[in-house]
Amino acid sequence: MKKRESISALDAQLEALKIAFAPVIFQVVRTMREFGILTLLDKHKEGLTLEEIAQKSDISSYGAKILLESALSASVVLEDEGRYRLSKIGYFLENDTMVKTNMEFNHHVNYKGLFELDKSIKEQRPVGLEVFGEWDTIYPHLGVLPPKAKKAWFDFDHFYSDSAFDSSIEKLKAFNPQTVLDIGGNTGKFSIRFAKNSENINLTILDLPGQIEMAQKNIRENGLEDRVNFFPLDILNHEAEIPKGFDIIWMSQFIDCFSKEDAIKILTRVRESMDENARLCILEPLWDKQRFKSASYCIINTSPYFTAMANGCSKMFNSTDLFDYIRRAGLEIEETIDNLGVSPHTLVKCKKSL
Ligand SMILES: C[S@@+](CC[C@H](N)C(=O)[O-])C[C@H]1O[C@@H](n2cnc3c(N)ncnc32)[C@H](O)[C@@H]1O
């Protein structure tokens, strides 16, 4: 039976208009943050007049009025007798790290390039990436993005995965590993944390050469050169062997960077590198495994970034797709552990199928 909708036509039209004006409201709120107006209103719970806001944030009354009226229409601020204060929504825009990290990522990395989402889908390449350079994918160039885009990209990436690292390390330690291959190890954050947590563990970071340079610097700064090694490789070179002999092969937010075909080929090559005792541990935020609608909303709406900006062919997973790729690669899912970190990640532990 068809699902019945309970929304009235008038409310549905308003929701549609919120989408039509979403880029405008986004830029209004971002500008208010940039000018310190959100912080100002957060401090002044009693509210401020338009003139006080204009004066304290060093903009014209005209500018303040434009921003505040838009913010009022979007329920970001409230107004009583000429005094403006932050609403609950405004409070989250000012104080919530998940909201702020996503806003920075969407503004500095995605905003201009998403204009080309339609072309990116048609041409199956990240046409939006042209705002940064004539590049096929974003990954080899992360280190040379403009400073604000680079910071926003790494903050976004780390915000999600970092929070799941400590609990994941505790789960991995239960297998008593001596050696770990950290595929897509990026700036070395996970390997540094694992090496500091466990004195007997040796790790190898596999990533693109540009990332390996950043990781090497961080490993040196943390004095871990004797226990963390490096393996620069473009994993899309499907002729290249994945290094063998590791107890755990770790992939955090990695396999979502590839098309279905490439992901299955990569997982197949990883399986070929494993012996019977090795385990592949994949950490991913799966949008169908979230307890809160806010978290699945963030994960699902990260996918258009992959299309227009990253590589034109990958996306965030739900469990059905990820588990299907794993099985097609000849791996068996031994265990899944949900709810690790914020926007919780799922840890999928796999072994070679017999
Ligand atoms: C989304 S980041 C995840 C980083 C880290 N594992 C984490 O959980 O925060 C994906 C990583 O995969 C790496 N990567 C992307 N394409 C790659 C390729 N073709 N070969 C090797 N590494 C690649 C990127 O350089 C980046 O470090």
Model confidence pLDDT, tens digit, residues 189-223: 999 999 999 999 999 999 999 899 999 999 999 99
For 164-192, what is the mean pLDDT? 95
For 68-90, what is the mean pLDDT? 98
- CA distance linking residue 319 with residue 329, whole number of Å: 15
Sequence-separated (6 or more) residues with CB below 8 Å from residue 299: 285, 286, 287, 290, 316, 343
For the chain, list the strands marked E by DSSP. Answer: 48-49, 77-80, 83-86, 179-183, 202-207, 228-232, 248-252, 279-284, 331-340, 345-352
What's residue 198's pLDDT? 95
pLDDT over 80 (residue 354): no
**Same domain membership, residue 301 and residue 159:** yes
304 pLDDT band, cuts 50/70/90, is very high
Give the domain-ending residue among 71, 95, 119. Answer: 95
For 226-243, what is the mean pLDDT? 97
Q: Which residue in this structure is represented by tokens 């000018």?
A: 35
pLDDT over 90 (residue 160): no
Residue 229: phi and psi, rounded to 5, are -110, 175
Q: Is 283 helix (H, G, I), strand (E, B) or coil?
A: strand
CATH number at residue 181: 3.40.50.150
Q: Note whether residue 298 is domain-resident.
A: yes
Domain count, the chain: 2
Mutating to test ligand 1, I would choose from 169, 186, 343 the residue with most ligand atoms within 8 A of its C-beta, which is: 186
Mutating to test ligand 1, I would choose from 157, 214, 262 the residue with most ligand atoms within 8 A of its C-beta, which is: 157
Q: How far, in Å, is the centroid of ligand 1 from the Cα of 257?
A: 7
**Same domain membership, residue 161 and residue 115:** yes
Give the domain-ending residue among 46, 80, 95. Answer: 95
What's residue 344's pLDDT? 87
Angle (CA) 115 118 121, round 5°: 125
Residue 60: phi and psi, rounded to 5, are -70, 160
Residue 224: phi and psi, rounded to 5, are -115, 20
**Same domain membership, residue 247 and residue 227:** yes
pLDDT over 90 (residue 296): yes
Q: Note whether residue 2 is domain-resident.
A: no
4 pLDDT band, cuts 50/70/90, is confident
**Same domain membership, residue 303 and residue 160:** yes
State what percent of residues in the chain have pLDDT above 90: 95
**Same domain membership, residue 206 and residue 126:** yes
Amino acid at 263: A
Question: With contact defined as beta carbons under 8 Å apart, do 208 and 230 qualify?
Answer: no
Which among 30, 281, 331 has a CA at the least distance from the CA of 171?
Answer: 281
Q: How far, in Å, is the centroid of ligand 1 from the Cα of 207?
A: 6
Domain of residue 154: give its range: 99-352
What's residue 334's pLDDT? 96
pLDDT over 80 (residue 343): no
Q: How far, in Å, is the centroid of ligand 1 from the Cα of 254?
A: 5
What's residue 179's pLDDT? 98
Ligand 1 within 6 A of 161 CB? Answer: yes
Mean pLDDT of the chain: 96
